[in-house]
Chain A
């Protein structure tokens, strides 16, 4: 397993031909260091040079001046083909090879590196598993038979195939709908807990930056770095007006994105297992003041909400015609996303599941509201103190 390596930009400038000497470059004198194993999110308005910065790392674009180091080596001095095979790259359009199966796509870099076929295949299966796609049902498919979210997962698996120390991701979740995006973000965070790669992640969505980044680099038109700090720091102390405006007036609300569902005390939920004794479930349901019970499968995974009085008086519990068990959160869901999903759905409680998708408890809009009030008070106290 290769360890992560730091990525350093040293006074990197890129001017495209045609931009005169007086004009600002696409990237101007960018200096920043991403420590090994950290996620750095480059965020900023369209055209501020995020993609250009990213592509200079794997030399799809060559800088006009300055240099970029991976570890201690200047990428400009490495053989470009060999360099690229050591850097994972994920883009919004994914760019899967349509003529290759999912398994072949994932095994691209191992194949280029000349691994034997058995090892390639084993690695592809391992990675598909890692990104939550069952190799038995996905490896032999062509990309045209995948959903957008599945394609993006395959793209991530392909980028990780040769275990590169550095991963570049350019708006990887930009083309999927918000619910799928939230799930893919959580999966990437989960992966990152295990893999600890150095990740440069580009987005123009400040919420995504706050959620995904250990460090956030806010970029300004003309390729200037406006602020480089932790998400907390950027929300608490924007370095200048530009960052303040970019972060938005709802900074208090955005701070909710710093808190994950995994770190709050969950509200317990009454569950009833499918096939279990209905009378017993009905009795337990009546004990709490919540008008619904959560019907779960034999592995405690949520199936649907059922009104207390819709449980039959005798016989067994069945999942039939209740309300859908949604929204579902996991420990990486931010309170901000949780709140917006709750507001968008009819129910007032989100179901929190663990990595095995088993029910852990509930998060309610009220709980999040309490949290906002508490943090508003702390903010008032701390600003009063300074």
Chain B
């Protein structure tokens, strides 16, 4: 069963692996969000471009993660860039879909009222459309965070500078040592849940007007 002595010896490792795991995921989610937000705003009122960009992000999403990490190694080596690029790319579909759905869901009468009161299109976007899209946008951040925390594990393939808690899983497999596999797997699940719970609290805080307004079917699904 579980080798508690081993666990006790490796608690220090666990702490900094959790931190590494979190940092790798946070960088990817942050970059992915920034890129997606910019792309979404750019394509929002350009339907043809929008279709193309959303399709492209969907295609990226279908590439297996291991293959993507492997394909990048010849180009960018065993670097942080190699670890982050696939993670960022996988968030794009989730973010774009949710940001655009959020912006689409702003009622037309609200937009008309904003125009009629003399909002410029930029102020309208910043002060009316994006705030109203927030429930779905944060829904996207939750989904992307949970899925990225899962994927960070795979980046352990690039060596022990990456992978976060995935390092223990890979090592555990190599030595067929169940304790070490669980030592990586269980905390990574806990991390995903903790981040999700924290984001729910953030959402409540930021959208006090929308207690129950996220449309059904757009709620973040369980961890992937």
Contact = CB atoms under 8 A, between A and B. Distances in A.
A82 B118 CA distance: 7
A89 B209 CA distance: 24
A112 interface: yes
A91 B209 contact: no
A109 interface: yes
B contacts with A: majority SS: helix
A89 B116 contact: yes
A295 B170 CA distance: 84
B119 interface: yes
A84 B118 contact: yes
Interface string A101-124: 000000011001000000000000
B125 interface: no
Nearest to B207: A99
Interface in B80-135: 107, 109-120, 123, 128, 131-132, 134
Contacts of A138: none
A118 B201 CA distance: 31
A108 B114 CA distance: 9
B132 A95 contact: no
B123 to A, nearest CB: 8
A99 B208 CA distance: 8
Chain B interface size, as a band, is 20 to 34
Chain A interface size, as a band, is 20 to 34
B210 interface: yes
A112 B117 contact: yes
A306 interface: no
A84 B110 contact: no
A266 to B, nearest CB: 41
A98 B123 CA distance: 16
Given A58-B116, A60-B112, A95 B210 contact: no
A142 B123 CA distance: 21
A97 interface: yes
A156 B2 CA distance: 69
Contact of B109 (A85, A87, A95, A108): A95
Given A91-B113, A142-B209, A112 B119 contact: yes
9 contacts: A83-B118, A85-B118, A93-B109, A95-B112, A96-B113, A97-B113, A97-B128, A99-B207, A112-B118
The 9 closest A-B pairs by CB, nearest first: A95-B113, A93-B109, A89-B116, A85-B118, A84-B118, A95-B109, A142-B209, A99-B131, A81-B118
